[in-house]
Amino acid sequence: MDQFQRRRKELMQAVKAAKVDALLVSKAVNVSYLTGFTGDASFLLVTPKRCIILSDERFRIQLKDECPTVEAEIRGADRNTFQLTGAIVGKLGLRDMFVEATGLTLNEFETLKDLCKSANLAPKNGMVEELRAIKDTDEVDRIRHAIRIAEQSFLAAKALLRPADTEKGIADLIDQFIKRLGGTGHAFSPIVGVGERSALPHCPVTDKPLSDSWFMLVDWGAEIRQYHSDLTRVIPTPDARRRKAVESKLQKTYTIVAEAQARAVEKLRPGIHVREADNAARGHIRDSGFGDYFNHGLGHGLGLEVHEAPSIRWNSEDVLKAGMVVTVEPGIYLPDIGGVRVEDDFLITEDGPVRLTTLPREWDAYFN
């Protein structure tokens, strides 16, 4: 049994336990996770006894190549995938069904309800995501590969920095190196914030030159074979000799953020509520006098999507399990001064967290 068959079997058991006739997997990334199919515009109908991929003629050959063991229903040009779904649901006599709401718009869900007249459709999220949260060995290897490419791209771009370069130019340069090193592309549009603009946690890149400040924040990641990495560092610009009086305050906040990350990492154990990790970091930042300036969650799961389960926040009910891969990214953002965020990727194991990223985190590694 390969990994895709195992995943489908686990989901079929979950559908049976839920006491429904079927789950319609509508989110493309979830269809891919369960079948190995890398195309789009297709659904996977999962019952307690069988799985059927619903697709169209464009993907007939691709489906045979990528997931030959999956039963497929291929529609012609005379109808769309929603109409095909309605026909199959009626043919199988399905009555009570869950439908992944995250993969459909409200209009699409209503259309599907109209076409599945014999069935009672109810929105349901999280069944596949719960499986995806636990990574197998192949998935961890792919994430490690994405991390290596991201780190190498960052170091290559860092070595070429010039004062005249812009935020956008650096983001483009990192993306180019990711592709040259074999990555599919960036995991998300890189965030580059020069000087005071680093106080924007998701700073959109502009034509602001590096010469406008002596430091910058870079948040980037790579994608390869569908899996992602996600890292953040604060580094000097090429003109770092022009340091301002704010340096001591920035170094102080950097130290606090790095300490907060270390305290959170100590909590990364199977069975721990994620809010305990968030509270460990947030409490340290708050006790250091910067509680008002940490304005996002501590981290998130990482895999086929850049943001997936678990959600590591103070108000999350998620519990850590062995096999999860998560980011830990505390930050302090000071208006008119700048922001600091240190982000690394970790694998949760029975023996504790394993840091997958390898770039140094210490202030002295970059600013001395």
pLDDT for the residue numbered 241: 62
Q: Residue 71 pairs with which residues in a beta bridge? A: 52
Q: Is the CATH number 3.40.350.10 carried by domain 3-132?
A: yes
Angle at the Cα of 212 from the Cα atoms of 206 and 214, rounded to 5 degrees: 115
Per-residue pLDDT of the chain (368 residues; tens, 9 = 90+): 799 999 999 999 999 999 999 999 999 999 999 999 999 999 999 999 999 999 999 999 999 999 999 999 999 989 999 999 999 999 999 999 999 999 999 999 999 999 998 899 999 999 999 999 999 999 999 999 999 999 999 999 999 999 999 999 999 999 999 999 999 999 999 999 999 999 999 999 999 999 999 999 999 999 999 999 999 999 999 876 666 667 888 999 999 999 999 999 999 999 999 999 999 999 999 999 999 999 999 999 999 999 999 999 999 999 999 999 999 999 999 998 999 999 999 999 999 999 999 999 999 999 87
To the nearest 10 degrees (0 to 180), the angle between helices 247-265 and 274-287 is 150
Homologous superfamily assigned to 137-367: Creatinase/methionine aminopeptidase superfamily (3.90.230.10)
**Cβ–Cβ under 8 Å, residues 277 and 298:** yes
Amino acid occupying residue 168 = K
- Annotated domain spans of the chain: 3-132, 137-367
